[in-house]
Amino acid sequence: MSPQPAIKSRPIYPGLWIDEAARRHLVAAEGEGALAVIETFSRSPEALSRTTLVYTPGGSAGEDRAARLEALGADAFHLAPSQPTALIRLKGLLATATMGTRLYVAGGEGFIGSVVAAGVAHGVDHYSIVTEHRGSLARRVQCVHCKGMTENVTVSPFVCSHCGLNLFVRDHFSRRLGAFQGVVIDAEAPGDIPAPEELYP
């Protein structure tokens, strides 16, 4: 069992498992998340006949992983060149999904957050989404001041890619947005900004 996080909103990722009662399996994977999907679904050919896979290599060298995922023999396989493209495909599939569809996601934390947010927006209870973290701990962060999103944040503080403020990355996570929160670090002492520290490699 995964340990409970100190911050209640901080997500935990118990790992992939197959819901044998599901009528359909909708699986989104990014980068190293492909390995979790291969390990889990290769043991269940029957489930694969009812599975749609959406995969994006992300920042990893993913051609071999994509070929291995496709070789699993899922009912449908979609290879996307980028995370935004994968999310567009996933949202289309969620919009037409029927009752009894189980959503799974494996990959980096930012990708998991985006998929969970997409699921929630389409009426999926976030507790029912099966998740496994693989790969980078880089975060997707929303600036609470300008509301802009910055992807793949590995350090704190960092400079918001939209408004240029120096932001401290909080452990507070918004499931609705699929992102952590960034707040200005030098509000009380303008210009007093500590050196960035790599926290999420």
CA dist., res. 90 & res. 118, Å (int): 8
Determine contact, residues 104/94, Cβ cutoff 8 Å: no
Give the contacts of 47 (CB within 8 A, at least 6 positions apart): 18, 20, 25, 41
The distance of Cα 169 from the centroid of its chain, to the nearest Å, equals 17
Number of domains in the chain: 2
Based on the fold, state whether residues 128 and 29 are members of the same structural domain. Answer: yes
Based on the fold, state whether residues 99 and 155 are members of the same structural domain. Answer: no
Based on the fold, state whether residues 188 and 117 are members of the same structural domain. Answer: no
Determine which of 16-20, 101-105, 194-198 has the lowest per-residue pLDDT on average: 194-198
pLDDT of the residue at 171: 87
Which domain-ending residue is among 133, 157, 186? Answer: 133
Q: Is the residue at 186 inside a domain?
A: yes
Average pLDDT of the chain to the nearest whole number: 91
Give per-residue pLDDT as tens, 47-84.
999 999 999 997 665 568 999 999 999 999 999 999 99
Based on the fold, state whether residues 57 and 124 are members of the same structural domain. Answer: yes
Q: Is the pLDDT of residue 102 over 80?
A: yes
The total of other beta-carbon atoms located within 10 Å of residue 168's CB is 17
Based on the fold, state whether residues 124 and 32 are members of the same structural domain. Answer: yes
Q: Is the residue at 39 inside a domain?
A: yes
Q: What CATH number is associated with residue 55? A: 3.40.50.80
CA dist., res. 54 & res. 89, Å (int): 8
Based on the fold, state whether residues 150 and 187 are members of the same structural domain. Answer: yes
Based on the fold, state whether residues 80 and 164 are members of the same structural domain. Answer: no
pTM over 0.75: yes
Domain with 193 in it: 139-198
Determine contact, residues 106/132, Cβ cutoff 8 Å: yes
Q: Is the residue at 19 inside a domain?
A: no
Per-residue pLDDT band at 158 (split at 50, 70, 90): very high
Q: Provide the 3-class DSSP secondary structure of residue 159.
A: strand
pLDDT of the residue at 188: 86
